[in-house]
Amino acid sequence: MSGSARWRWAVVAVIVVVALVVALWPLLHRSHDSAASILASEVPTAPAEEQVSAADRAAAALAPCPAPSGAPVGDSPLRGITLDCLSDGRPVDLVAALAGKPAVLNLWAYWCGPCAEELPLLQQFSEQARGAVTVLTVHSDPGAAKGLSRLSGLGIHLPGVEDANTKVRTAVHAPAVLPISVLLRADGTVAKVVVRPFGSVQDIADTVAAELGVRA
């Protein structure tokens, strides 16, 4: 084959390749877009916080959240955290509302089995403490309505707040487990973060006495 013939065949081959690329480009482009859409759809998104109706709140019959007493507060990691009260939906400034007496913040969620076993113990301890210690439940999940339903089913009427974004757990640098109990001094500072479920009412009473100096 002469040099000119080889050159002509080379030109023809280049033209064929270019034509194929032009013909297939839309298909390749659409395939890339489809793959990208599938990957994007698989990225999990945070669940939206559930809306709670007045009927849900009334059915749970929870105690009202504590109101600010005006007592002085210390350098608490919970400063600036405001959460909605489960009983009426009103915002609660945690440090301001809890200042004035020791408190136990119990972090839980409606799906947590150990939490369901511990909550009745906290209810009994609160009754035993007769107001000397505030016990506040902190529902640490966006499913507020499910949380209220769970409390109602367990017969728990402690005051509680909704912490959909786990602000309390993050503030006290606790691990991502439940239940967790945060023991606060009267000035709102953290005395102890208990990363385990309490096993009995006496266990709660002994821990509170040791960390907060209150025998209930």
Tens-level pLDDT at each residue, the chain (216 residues): 555 555 454 544 545 444 444 444 444 443 333 333 223 223 333 455 568 889 889 989 999 999 998 999 999 999 999 999 999 999 999 999 999 999 999 999 999 999 999 999 999 999 999 999 999 999 999 999 999 999 999 999 999 999 999 999 999 999 999 999 999 999 999 999 999 999 999 999 999 999 999 998
pLDDT at residue number 84: 97
Residues 33 and 109 in one domain: no
Residues 197, 92 share a domain: yes
What is the tally of structural domains in the chain?
A: 2
CATH number at residue 154: 3.40.30.10
* 11 and 114 share one domain: no
- Indicate the SS3 state at residue 197: coil
Tokens of 94: 């945690």
β-strand pairing of 160-162 with 180-184: unpaired
| 91 C-beta neighbours (distance < 10 Å), count | 11
pLDDT at 216: 87
Whether residue 3 sits in one domain with residue 99: no
Please report which helix (H) or strand (E) contains residue 122, including its range: helix 113-129
Question: Are residues 126 and 30 part of one domain?
Answer: no
Q: Which residues pair with 58 in a beta bridge?
A: none
- Residues 34, 60: one domain? no
Specify whether 67 is located in the same domain as 98. yes
Q: Is there a single domain that holds both residue 64 and residue 41?
A: no
Residue 20: which domain range? 1-45
Check whether residue 105 and residue 191 sit in a common domain: yes
Same domain (yes/no): 23, 96: no
Measured distance CA(61)–CA(50) in Å, rounded: 19
Distance CA 98, CA 104 (A): 10
Q: Are residues 105 and 16 in the same domain?
A: no
Q: What is the pLDDT of residue 1?
A: 54
Same domain, 128 and 201: yes
Please say whether the beta carbons of 99 and 69 come within 8 A: yes
Neighbouring-strand partners of residue 104 = 135, 183
Nearest-10 Cα torsion for 173, 174, 176, 179:
-150
Residue type, 13: A
